[in-house]
Structure 1
Amino acid sequence: MNDSARVTVVGEALVDLLWRTGEREVRAVPGGSPANVAVGLHRLDRPVTLVTAWGDDVPGALVSGHLADAGLTVTRAKTTPPGRTIVALAYLDRDGGARYDFLADWDPLDLPVPEDTAVLHTGSLAVVIEPGASRVLELCREQRRLGRTVVADLNVRPAVQPDRDAYLATARSLAGAVDVLKSSDEDLAWLLPGLSAPDAARELLAEGPPLVVVTLGAEGALAVTAEGGVRVGAPDVAVADTVGAGDSFQSALLDAIAGHGGPPTGQEELAATLARCAAAAALTCTRVGADPPTRTELAAWHTS
């Protein structure tokens, strides 16, 4: 197990405006899937660098302060002036689920990757919003050619690209540029309606990634490879909300990939990895907002 292998996360940091059903006040919370993943990796004591961008505006000041308080190593990419921080309006239902609308701007001009990077991660808005998305896709291809493990989380957001066919084309291109592709069953149901989660995962597996991982919410997670598939359940918890659960799952997955020197292989290793990831997601669901566990918390909770 290599505890010093670095993960570089490329993607958006933004401000979520959380609006709960029945409430009149909206709460501003810094986040963004890639930023949340980086925070989760940091809490798991994994060396991590976040390459992101934000504007010199009120939301940007909140993002900047949040990343500094989190203790992250951050590279702020240059952008075309004036630059605007992404803002997401998250509508939270009474069961803790969320729907999103976005005021989006993603135009990083440079995406520098530290030389000691072992694993590159990206996904979410960063692979959909142009002109930055094309640069991120090329970065994935370049880093894979250099021998680094490349991982992506689709984290589908139809609010930023409502054209299903265009979004699916993006997903297929991304799948062909990475070693591990992660998605949720809800993502796949929107992208590939009519297919079960395992069948949709195999559809994306055919694009070239050796491993596709799918989260199933309260039902756990599954993984498919050319050799077959693995499925694990999820711990039963009292849900505060689901914000950041998928990102915590992804942090744990990246931590395992970096630690093992590549994607897990073999059914036992895959199952053990997925079970730990599902535990990280479940623990996050017991808390309000994107609040991923530390390595100590996850170890104690996962083995209890």
Structure 2
Amino acid sequence: MVRRAARVTVVGESLVDLLWRKGEDQPRAVAGGSPANVAVGLRRLGREVTLVTTRGDDPPGELVRARVEEAGLDVRWMPSSGSTTVALAHLDDAGAARYEFLASWAPDELTVPADTAVIHTGSLAAVLEPGARRVLELCARQREAGVSVAADLNVRPAAQPDRERYRVAARRLASATDVLKASDEDLGWLYPGQSPERSARRLLAEGPRLVVVTLGAAGALGVAPSGTVRVTAPPVEVVDTVGAGDAFQAALLDAVARDGVPSGTAELTRVLERCARAGALTCTRAGSQPPTLEELDGPGAGGAGADAG
């Protein structure tokens, strides 16, 4: 695979999903975690990527290690006293997942490569202490140094059921980022009764340059100080939705690493259409299997060609 310039460093948890589909007798163990999935997605897009994460000295940790090695990721294993996080994902008839967590995120330190152009974090890593505080400190330092910072809220009430504490964490994360992503379900839980766009604008007021909201089969919207852009999602036959948001985020980070944070309406529309295509392609196969660069941008993909930047 040809690697592309501008390194993205992903900071966050690696875990094992126990995927339990309705009607099945036993779950299936799959190494995952939103940050790890994003890193794999970036690697498949040919992007220079480093994953900064932890794992326990336990059987789930061995699954995590094997998965990232198979993906060819550059990994910085941070010292940690915690065990490997395990998530029980209940899949419904439509392939949508509901999660329960046995979670740990306690890195003793966080360091990133000196050539990092974009940092990404979010999910459990942004809300579980003591790691969340260290993540926010890292993002603030890197942003001050001129590194672009992006995050995915990826709200997990099972890990932090206190809504107000989660809102505080979301605002803190927004204040430390240039690009913040959330799903309409994330925002619906954080701010019940508000439209996704209104909730996104609340978070935009905390300081990001762009807030992106995924809308499932309805596509996505991007909210910036200059206005709102909406895109539709390509229709696909859904196997399950595991990892679709992470594939979307990988494509978004790839665009930021290549050209910076999208600003103009035409540029943002083009970027979000590509991201929606990445998420849709992931839904067509079981588990978190993000598309390759050729699948996303090759002949017949329906979008702009690959950029070797």
Which category of TM-score, normalised to the shorter sequence, fits these structures?
over 0.9
- Counterpart of 1:49 in structure 2 is 50
Aligned partners of 2:224 and 2:263 also within 8 Å: no
- Counterpart of 2:134 in structure 1 is 135
- Counterpart of 1:296 in structure 2 is 294
Shift of 1:194: 1.1
Aligned partners of 1:96 and 1:242 also within 8 Å: yes
Partner of 1:51, secondary structure, is strand
Shift of 1:110: 1.2
CA distance in 1, matches of 2:111, 2:202: 32
Matches within 5 A, 1:78-89: 78-80=79-81, 83-89=82-88
- Counterpart of 2:176 in structure 1 is 177
Aligned partners of 1:201 and 1:224 also within 8 Å: yes
Partner of 1:237, secondary structure, is coil
Partner of 1:12, secondary structure, is coil
Q: CA RMSD in A?
A: 1.0
CA distance in 2, matches of 1:123, 1:50: 13
CA distance in 2, matches of 1:208, 1:118: 19
- Counterpart of 1:122 in structure 2 is 121
Partner of 1:4, secondary structure, is strand
- The aligned amino acid for 1:59 is P
Partner of 1:156, secondary structure, is coil
Shift of 1:250: 0.2
CA distance in 2, matches of 1:294, 1:111: 29
- Counterpart of 2:73 in structure 1 is 72
Partner of 1:275, secondary structure, is helix
The answer as to 2:202 corresponding to 1:203 is yes
What per-residue deviation string (whole Å, max 9, x for no partner) do you get for residues 214-262 of structure 1? 00000000001111110000000000000000000000000000000x2
Gaps of 5+ in 1: none
Matches within 5 A, 1:92-103: 92-103=91-102
- Counterpart of 1:24 in structure 2 is 25
- Counterpart of 2:307 in structure 1 is none
- The aligned amino acid for 2:205 is A
- Counterpart of 2:16 in structure 1 is 15
CA distance in 1, matches of 2:124, 2:70: 23
Partner of 1:102, secondary structure, is strand
- The aligned amino acid for 1:292 is P
CA distance in 2, matches of 1:224, 1:66: 35
CA distance in 1, matches of 2:25, 2:42: 34
Gaps of 5+ in 2: 304-309
CA distance in 1, matches of 2:159, 2:147: 29
- The aligned amino acid for 1:202 is R
Aligned length: 300
- The aligned amino acid for 1:39 is V
What per-residue deviation string (whole Å, max 9, x for no partner) do you get for residues 47-75 of structure 1? 00000000000100111111111100000
CA distance in 1, matches of 2:41, 2:112: 19
Shift of 1:265: 1.2
- Counterpart of 2:271 in structure 1 is 273
- Counterpart of 2:252 in structure 1 is 253
- The aligned amino acid for 1:116 is D
- Counterpart of 2:158 in structure 1 is 159
Matches within 5 A, 1:94-113: 94-113=93-112
TM-score w.r.t. length of structure 2? 0.96
Shift of 1:3: 3.4
- Counterpart of 1:286 in structure 2 is 284
Shift of 1:25: 1.3
Shift of 1:302: 2.8
Aligned partners of 1:7 and 1:118 also within 8 Å: yes
- Counterpart of 1:61 in structure 2 is 62
- Counterpart of 1:217 in structure 2 is 216
CA distance in 2, matches of 1:93, 1:285: 14
CA distance in 2, matches of 1:302, 1:254: 19
CA distance in 2, matches of 1:193, 1:25: 34
The runs of at least 4 aligned residues of structure 1 exceeding 3 Å deviation read: none
Aligned partners of 1:245 and 1:290 also within 8 Å: yes
Shift of 1:79: 1.0
Partner of 2:5, secondary structure, is coil
Once the two structures are overlaid, the 10-residue window that deviates more, 107-116 or 268-277, is: 107-116
- The aligned amino acid for 2:130 is P
